[in-house]
Amino acid sequence: MAHSIAFPARAQSRAISLSTIPWYLWACVIGVTSAMIGVHWDISWHRSIGRDTFWTPPHMAIYLCGIIAGISSAYLILATSFGKLPEVRPASVRMWGFRGPLGAFVTAWGGIAMLVSAPFDDWWHNAYGLDVEILSPPHTVLAAGIAAIEIGALLLVLGYMNRAHGDQRQRLSWLFLYVGSMIVVVTQVLTMEYTITVLQHSALFYIAMAIAVPTALIGVGIASGRRWGATIAAAVYMVFTASLIWILPLFPAAPKLGPVLNPVTQFIPPNFPLLPIVPAFAIDMLRPRLRGSNQWLQGAVLGSAFFASFLAAQWWFANFLMTPAATNGFFGTIYRDYLTPPDSIEAGKSFVRPEHNFWTQMAIAWAVAICTSRVGVGWGEWMRKVQR
């Protein structure tokens, strides 16, 4: 749990001196990665081909995450409960008569939610046709399951990391930061409808980012124990997303549904990643100076730094993405899905007009960033104590 735990000496030695990372931690990491690749691939499939059979490769990649998470967490819980993993039992919690790490129970719930969402999603499409929003009811269940698996995987790695020392802790901290970066990836998927380039001069965009990003970046950065934890997590998110821009269009695709308003001959990738690495760097610069301060003070300073630095960086970068210099495959602005008409605002490379109360809304975004940063500080400090 969140408090320090006194392990029996023999069990503590076993748990901390592990020379290799357990396979079930790797299984969770592979599952999380499969889900994030599958989600982006599935969105690209819808933008390039349209609604297809349920048994598409990206769907299989997504639900493989639930299968891997379910098997690995079930093994971990059952093996711990029946004494097959004596080194894990002292660092476990009891739930419904079973024992296992807290992260294993969270991951198991996420796997069940993902698998339950599969027939629900297929029925939804057969009954109502195409999705008009990313977060349809079955997709909401699926997103909750993926988020639970990511948080469960984070807790699993965290328990081992906080009981480890030296090189073992360093290796586990890299794994922890990678899983943390996948949480940033999933927040960007969930807010995708509010973060397209044409909206990046609107207050709505900055409110969405203030809600989605600071908690994950700050919490993961603090809990990692690394000087540049938030920056590393943001960098992994950017590399992961950018790689999809460069890889997906290499494969051919053609629409199967109409109307085809824009000819498509290859998979359409996501937009170029946002620039949370700039506020992440600012956060990592400020955190050592704030250590030990009141958590609301930390939230106010880090939230203000996030808002100001992200606004400065993303506003300029959005302008750049609208220029001919960004009209290439590297930045991905040449790609538009088959439902985007040639006279659309996206094709015309112009921004949506700001809200009439733009500055009031931006003040709200600033206040939200402070609140979510405060949550991130509290979450990060709590995670530093987790050993189960």
Measuring CA to CA, how many Å separate 190 from each of 142, 284, 374? 11, 25, 21
Average pLDDT, the chain: 86
The last residue of a domain, from among 156, 186, 216: 186
What integer is the mean pLDDT of 125-142? 68
The pLDDT value recorded for residue 129 is: 63
The pLDDT value recorded for residue 209 is: 97
52: confidence class by pLDDT, cuts 50, 70, 90? low
Are residues 195 and 321 located together in one domain of the fold? Answer: yes
The pLDDT value recorded for residue 208 is: 96
Measuring CA to CA, how many Å separate 366 from each of 215, 289, 343? 14, 21, 34
Q: Which residue reads 């790797």 in tokens?
A: 26
Are residues 121 and 1 located together in one domain of the fold? Answer: yes
Give the domain range for residue 344. 191-388
First to last CA, the chain: 6
The last residue of a domain, from among 132, 156, 186: 186
Measuring CA to CA, how many Å separate 279 from each of 25, 189, 231, 306? 30, 19, 8, 5
The pLDDT value recorded for residue 16 is: 39
Is residue 217 a contact partner of residue 184, using CB atoms and an 8 Å limit? yes
236: confidence class by pLDDT, cuts 50, 70, 90? very high
For residue range 331-342, what is the model confidence (pLDDT) as tens digits?
Answer: 999 998 888 888
The pLDDT value recorded for residue 6 is: 39
Are residues 237 and 355 located together in one domain of the fold? Answer: yes
Q: Which residue reads 């592979």 in tokens?
A: 30
Query: Does residue 241 carry a pLDDT above 60?
Result: yes
The pLDDT value recorded for residue 5 is: 38
Query: Does residue 19 carry a pLDDT above 60?
Result: no
The pLDDT value recorded for residue 84 is: 75
Provide DSSP, 320-382. Answer: HHTSGGG-STTTTTT---TT--TTSTTTTT-PPPPPTTHHHHHHHHHHHHHHHHHHHHHHHHH
Residue 100, helix vs strand vs coil:
strand
For residue range 65-91, what is the model confidence (pLDDT) as tens digits?
Answer: 888 888 888 888 888 888 777 777 777
CA-to-CA distance for 320 and 199, rounded, in angstroms? 14
The pLDDT value recorded for residue 14 is: 42
Query: Does residue 125 carry a pLDDT above 70?
Result: no
What phi, psi does 252 have (nearest 5°)? -70, 150
At 356, the amino acid letter reads H
Are residues 272 and 157 located together in one domain of the fold? Answer: no
Are residues 1 and 59 located together in one domain of the fold? Answer: yes
Are residues 93 and 21 located together in one domain of the fold? Answer: yes
Are residues 178 and 292 located together in one domain of the fold? Answer: no
Are residues 143 and 283 located together in one domain of the fold? Answer: no
CA-to-CA distance for 236 and 179, rounded, in angstroms? 10
Query: Does residue 39 carry a pLDDT above 80?
Result: yes
pLDDT over 90, % of the chain: 47
9: confidence class by pLDDT, cuts 50, 70, 90? very low
The last residue of a domain, from among 155, 186, 217: 186
Q: Which residues contact 119 (CB under 8 A, 6 or more apart)?
A: none
Q: Helix H segments across the chain? A: 9-16, 23-48, 57-81, 102-128, 137-163, 166-190, 203-212, 214-224, 229-247, 277-290, 295-321, 358-383
How many domains does the chain contain in total?
Answer: 2
CA angle 199, 204, 207 (to 5 degrees): 125
127: confidence class by pLDDT, cuts 50, 70, 90? low
Are residues 128 and 213 located together in one domain of the fold? Answer: no
The pLDDT value recorded for residue 292 is: 86
Are residues 119 and 61 located together in one domain of the fold? Answer: yes
CA-to-CA distance for 1 and 29, rounded, in angstroms? 22
Are residues 318 and 207 located together in one domain of the fold? Answer: yes
The pLDDT value recorded for residue 8 is: 40
CA-to-CA distance for 99 and 91, rounded, in angstroms? 10
Are residues 2 and 105 located together in one domain of the fold? Answer: yes
Could you tell me the pTM of the whole model? 0.87
